[in-house]
Amino acid sequence: MNSFSFCSSMKYSFKIASVWGIPIELHITFILLMVAVAILSYPTFYLFALILFLFVFVVLHEMAHTFVARHYNIKVRKIVLYPIGGVSEIEEIPENPSIEWRLAISGPATSLLIGAVLYAASLFITIAVAPTTISASLTTAGSLILDLATLNLLLGGFNLIPAFPMDGGRVFRAILAERMKFTDATKYAAYIGRLFGIAMVVFGIIFYGYFLLIVVGLFVYIGATEEAEQTIVSTTLARVRVSDVTCAEIGSVTPENTLAEAMEVMFKFRYHDAIVEKDGIYQGLVVWDELVKVKPEQRSQLTISQMPLRKISVFQGESVLEAQKIMVSQKIAVMPVVERDNPEKVTCVLTTEGLAAAYDRAKNLR
């Protein structure tokens, strides 16, 4: 299963490379799969070699998504590779359906193109290998190039199945979104995705030798449910204004305060960020991550004026969704809220608790 997502990926993945400044991470389950296949493919290790090639093809598949995302100035956080495919984590799902279907179809199109080129090459070039039985109903072709062509054709074709959140499901959602509200299109696409997920699980249980379909079906069902919920709530969250959320008070410090004093304020108010004000004028935000970089013995000697500040804020009339995006990108727990006609005056702050309340409000607005 290959797709792109704006949800957070699973834990237990680690970086193996970086392309265009985008981290490529390998999930620990991929390593477990490679170990299992290496054991099962003994003594020829041909299946293990195919898995390594599949790893490369999945990366190319995901890089196609990334290339199109960059073309439309959509930020890609990272690419995570799983045993059943890869996921390109993007900053946000494009609102324009025509961009989403182009972004979604780029991966399968790349896999199908690679498969077609390799298949054409197999007609003229033969690298013979011993046929290997994968399951009771599946055996390799005995030709390395033809097997690689088949891998890519299967990878591209399978991902075109209209099962959200797979690529085909996203194309389906984009087509629906051109004819109805985005939230409704997501609901229908997720419903179809869950049906496909159930069908895959049932098929894998009934027919011996297709156990992997059970795993893929579960991922599709869970992915469709979770991402649909996230997408719908986030879309609705755009309608909630910062002024609709109860703002909190937070401790402030002055440029003359020491780092030790600033940290005491942070502990007192339970937030690892603090507003910096001078004579009631907003100077910026000092964050915990910057303070802890300083050696403990120096924190009572250095002042806030010697630290880098982040001059970020939002207006009361802005959407909570935009505020959340900034907080996530800046890795901060509080967002200063200022008046539009007086941006140097902080009225209150939007906190992570406030965001949670906004999400609850968004769910009621669906």
Amino acid 363: pLDDT:
64
Q: In this predicted model, what pLDDT tens digit does every residue of 154-186 receive, in sequence order?
A: 889 988 988 888 888 889 999 998 898 887 888
3-state helix, strand, coil in the chain (%, to 5): 55, 20, 25
- Are residues 91 and 204 located together in one domain of the fold? no
Alpha-carbon distances of 318 from 74, 113, 163, 241, 340, rounded to whole Å: 21, 44, 35, 6, 10
Q: Which residues are catalytic?
A: 62
- For 22-48, the DSSP string reads EEEEEEHHHHHHHHHHHHHTTTT-HHH
- Which of 202, 221, 237 is the last residue before a domain boundary? 237
Structure letter (DSSP) for residue 163 = -
- Are residues 217 and 280 located together in one domain of the fold? no
Amino acid 138: pLDDT:
61
Q: Which two tokens stand for residue 256?
A: 């003359």
> Who's near 265: CB < 8 A, 6+ residues apart?
251, 252, 253, 257, 274
Model confidence pTM above 0.85: no
Three-state SS for 7?
coil
- Are residues 153 and 169 located together in one domain of the fold? no
How many structural domains are present in the chain?
A: 3
- Are residues 119 and 195 located together in one domain of the fold? no
CATH value at residue 323: 3.10.580.10
- Yes or no: say if 304 and 253 are a contact pair by the CB < 8 Å rule: yes
- Are residues 216 and 107 located together in one domain of the fold? no
Amino acid 85: pLDDT:
66
- Are residues 222 and 265 located together in one domain of the fold? no
- Are residues 86 and 221 located together in one domain of the fold? no
Q: In this predicted model, what pLDDT tens digit does every residue of 240-270 receive, in sequence order?
A: 777 777 677 777 889 999 999 988 888 887 7
- Are residues 126 and 226 located together in one domain of the fold? no
- Which of 105, 134, 160 is the last residue before a domain boundary? 160
- Which of 115, 133, 160 is the last residue before a domain boundary? 160
Kindly give the pairing relationship between strand 3-5 and strand 13-19: unpaired
CA 97 – CA 104 distance, rounded (Å): 10
- Are residues 20 and 147 located together in one domain of the fold? yes
Amino acid 108: pLDDT:
92
Three-state SS for 339?
strand
Q: What is the dihedral of CA 187, 190, 196, 201, to 10 degrees?
A: -120
- The domain of 271 spans 242-365
**Peptide bond preceding 165 in cis form (omega within 30 of 0):** yes
- Are residues 146 and 223 located together in one domain of the fold? no
With 0-12 / 13-18 / 19 or more C-beta atoms within 10 angstroms meaning exposed / middle / buried, residue 128 is exposed
- Are residues 4 and 122 located together in one domain of the fold? yes
- Are residues 119 and 36 located together in one domain of the fold? yes
Exposure class string for 225-253: b at 16+ Cβ within 10 A, else e: bebbebbbbbbbbeebebeebebbebbbb
pLDDT lower than 70: segments of the chain: 1-11, 41, 83-85, 91-92, 95, 130-141, 209, 246, 361-366
Neighbours of 297 (CB within 10 A): 7
- Which residues make beta-bridge pairs with 76? 90
Backbone torsions φ then ψ of 308, nearest 5 degrees: -70, 135
Alpha-carbon distances of 86 from 63, 68, 160, rounded to whole Å: 10, 16, 14
CA 16 – CA 33 distance, rounded (Å): 17
